[in-house]
């Protein structure tokens, strides 16, 4: 039977990681994988995470199951961080295996509620969104999002695309720090997105993977909170991988905001059922780290301070790269890099130009020219800038 399995196409980003590791050249630069790195190239364990783990180690007296939805402390702490008090008793939630698990469980919930729902996805989007949808056999269409000329949001085209959604459909939105482009709607544009959703009756599903990496914890959640206040039903898939730096702990949450208490109870039961069918109980260690930090005043303050250091480091690298490119190219066409937010920017290079940078300069980025700003440091920025200009981008 197993011999009948067909080969699966390798994940492009994971394949790129393999190429990078095999490259023996000195000074190679990895801008592909979406992981934060400090200036030394290390993905560090945050101070508050280490302190929380010590606290858990000293106080935890059992490794028994928690519950199908995970612990209430974690879910309440995450709801407070993401929504800031918005939505109150409208929230049903479950812990998930990372943000990816939250996306998958959210799509499964949609399929349970409306098997005919069409998922509207930005073009481009995180490749795993499309991979999951295709694997599930879920209907989806893409709406315009990125302007390849300005490297910003193609908002008029986006709004026109969103207007084609129907009641019962789902619109998948990036809450902040759009992956892979780094281009984000303005506050006024988010208001127009909410108005479109109100008009069509489509349900927003917000992927919030980078809260705190863009303009700050509260600023990055502003669009999500505004939509949560205005729309009767909202799905939110949030990840703790980036902002807490606990990638390998696979810590996420799915929240469903409902119009009334009956729908909330039905949603809570359905999500717990989905967890049971998939992995029974969600992982607890990462969730306990997060709830320990968020419910401890000193740990929370230290975590926020370190997260802000990370955010400002990435903004500094963006500014440095934009200035280097302005100097080398003699134009302002790369200024968009400083305006983008989060870990990523789509450079606008062709696959051939990306390949040339890899061949000539040992610079690795995804073929669509998505580059991970956090893969840079102040010394590698000039190297990248020269390679971009020499490749003719």
- CATH number, domain of 76, equals 3.40.640.10
CB contact at 8 A, 17 and 217: no
Query: Does any domain span residue 263?
Result: yes
Check: pTM over 0.75? Answer yes or no: yes
Query: Does any domain span residue 141?
Result: yes
Region class of 32: left (phi > 0), else alpha (psi between -120 and 50), else beta:
alpha
> Positive or negative, the Cα torsion across 28, 34, 39, 44?
negative
Residues 237 and 120 reside in one and the same domain = yes
d(CA 319, CA 276): 46
> What is the domain extent for residue 237?
65-295
Query: Does any domain span residue 54?
Result: no
Query: Does any domain span residue 371?
Result: yes
Catalytic-role residue among 79, 87, 202, 209: 209
- How large is the greatest C-alpha to C-alpha distance in the chain, in angstroms? 63
Give me the residues of the chain with pLDDT under 70, please.
none
pLDDT computed for residue 15 by the predictor: 85
d(CA 383, CA 370): 17
pLDDT computed for residue 11 by the predictor: 81
Check if 207 is active-site.
yes
Check if 126 is active-site.
yes
Region class of 191: left (phi > 0), else alpha (psi between -120 and 50), else beta:
alpha
Residues 225 and 371 reside in one and the same domain = no
Residues 141 and 248 reside in one and the same domain = yes
d(CA 390, CA 250): 40
Question: Looking at residue 368, which CATH number applies to its domain?
Answer: 3.90.1150.10
Residues 230 and 307 reside in one and the same domain = no
CB contact at 8 A, 34 and 13: yes
User: Last residue of a domain, which of 295, 330, 358?
Assistant: 295
Q: What is the pLDDT of residues 151-171, one digit of tens each?
A: 999 999 999 999 999 999 999
Residues 244 and 314 reside in one and the same domain = no
Structure tokens at 198: 């109100």
Q: What is the pLDDT of residues 11-38, one digit of tens each?
A: 888 888 889 999 999 999 999 988 999 9
Query: Does any domain span residue 57?
Result: no
Catalytic-role residue among 165, 242, 358, 391: 242
The verdict on whether omega for the bond into residue 124 sits within 30 degrees of 0, i.e. cis, is: yes
User: Residue 382 carries which DSSP code?
Assistant: H
d(CA 130, CA 172): 11
Query: Does any domain span residue 5?
Result: no
Structure tokens at 210: 């980078």
d(CA 346, CA 334): 11
Structure tokens at 380: 């590698």
Residues 223 and 355 reside in one and the same domain = no
- Locate the DSSP E strands across the chain: 29-30, 91-97, 119-123, 140-144, 146-147, 152-153, 170-174, 203-208, 234-239, 251-257, 344-346, 363-364, 370-372
Check if 77 is active-site.
no
Residues 281 and 325 reside in one and the same domain = no
Question: 3-class DSSP state for residue 50?
Answer: helix
d(CA 63, CA 288): 12
Residues 186 and 280 reside in one and the same domain = yes
Residues 152 and 126 reside in one and the same domain = yes
Catalytic-role residue among 77, 92, 169, 207: 207
d(CA 105, CA 253): 10
Query: Does any domain span residue 160?
Result: yes
pLDDT computed for residue 90 by the predictor: 94
Query: Does any domain span residue 386?
Result: yes
Check if 209 is active-site.
yes
Residues 315 and 270 reside in one and the same domain = no
User: Last residue of a domain, which of 243, 263, 295?
Assistant: 295
CB contact at 8 A, 174 and 122: yes
At residue 368, φ and ψ (nearest 5 deg) are -85, 5
Closest CA to 93 of 103, 79, 82: 79
Catalytic-role residue among 126, 165, 202, 302: 126
Q: Any idea what the Cα angle at residue 380 is, between residues 374 and 385, rounded to 5°? A: 100
If residue 268 lies in a helix (H) or strand (E), which one and from where to where? helix 261-278
User: Residue 171 carries which DSSP code?
Assistant: E
Residues 269 and 329 reside in one and the same domain = no
pLDDT computed for residue 137 by the predictor: 97
Residues 154 and 275 reside in one and the same domain = yes
CB contact at 8 A, 347 and 339: no
User: Last residue of a domain, which of 295, 311, 329?
Assistant: 295
Number of domains in the chain: 2
């Amino acid at each position: 039977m197993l011999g009948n399995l067909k080969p699966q196409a390798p994940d492009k980003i994971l394949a790129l990681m393999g190429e990078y590791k095999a490259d023996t050249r000195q000074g190679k630069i990895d801008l592909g994988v979406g992981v934060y790195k400090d200036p030394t190239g290390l993905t560090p364990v945050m101070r508050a995470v280490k302190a929380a783990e010590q606290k858990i180690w000293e106080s935890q007296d059992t490794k028994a199951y928690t519950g199908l939805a995970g612990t209430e402390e974690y879910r309440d702490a995450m709801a407070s961080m993401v929504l800031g008090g918005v939505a109150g008793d409208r929230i049903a939630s479950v812990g998930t295996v990372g943000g990816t698990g939250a996306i998958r469980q959210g799509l499964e919930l949609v399929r349970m509620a409306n098997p005919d729902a069409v998922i509207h996805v930005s073009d481009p989007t995180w490749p795993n969104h499309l991979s999951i949808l295709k694997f599930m056999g879920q209907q989806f269409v893409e709406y315009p999002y990125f302007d390849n000329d300005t490297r910003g949001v193609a908002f008029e085209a986006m709004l026109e695309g969103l207007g084609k959604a129907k009641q019962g459909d789902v619109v998948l939105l990036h809450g902040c720090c759009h992956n892979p482009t780094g281009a984000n709607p303005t506050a006024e544009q988010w208001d127009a997105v909410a108005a479109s959703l109100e008009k069509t009756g489509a349900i927003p599903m917000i992927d919030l993977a980078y809260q705190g990496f863009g303009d700050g914890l509260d600023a990055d959640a502003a669009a999500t909170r505004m939509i949560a206040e205005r729309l009767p039903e909202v799905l939110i898939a949030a990840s703790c991988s980036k902002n807490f730096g606990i990638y390998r702990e696979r810590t996420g949450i799915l929240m469903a905001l409902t119009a009334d208490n009956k729908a909330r109870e039905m949603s809570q039961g359905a999500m717990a059922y989905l967890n049971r069918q998939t992995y029974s109980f969600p992982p607890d260690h990462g969730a306990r780290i997060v709830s320990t930090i968020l419910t401890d005043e000193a740990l929370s303050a230290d975590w926020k301070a370190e997260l802000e250091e990370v955010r400002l480091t990435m903004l500094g690298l963006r500014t440095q790269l934009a200035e280097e490119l302005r100097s080398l190219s003699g134009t302002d066409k790369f200024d968009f890099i400083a305006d983008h937010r989060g870990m990523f920017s789509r450079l606008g290079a062709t696959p051939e130009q990306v390949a040339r940078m890899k061949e000539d300069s040992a610079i690795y980025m995804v073929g669509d020219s998505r580059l991970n700003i956090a893969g840079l440091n102040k010394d590698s920025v000039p190297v990248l800038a020269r390679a971009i200009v020499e490749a003719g981008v």
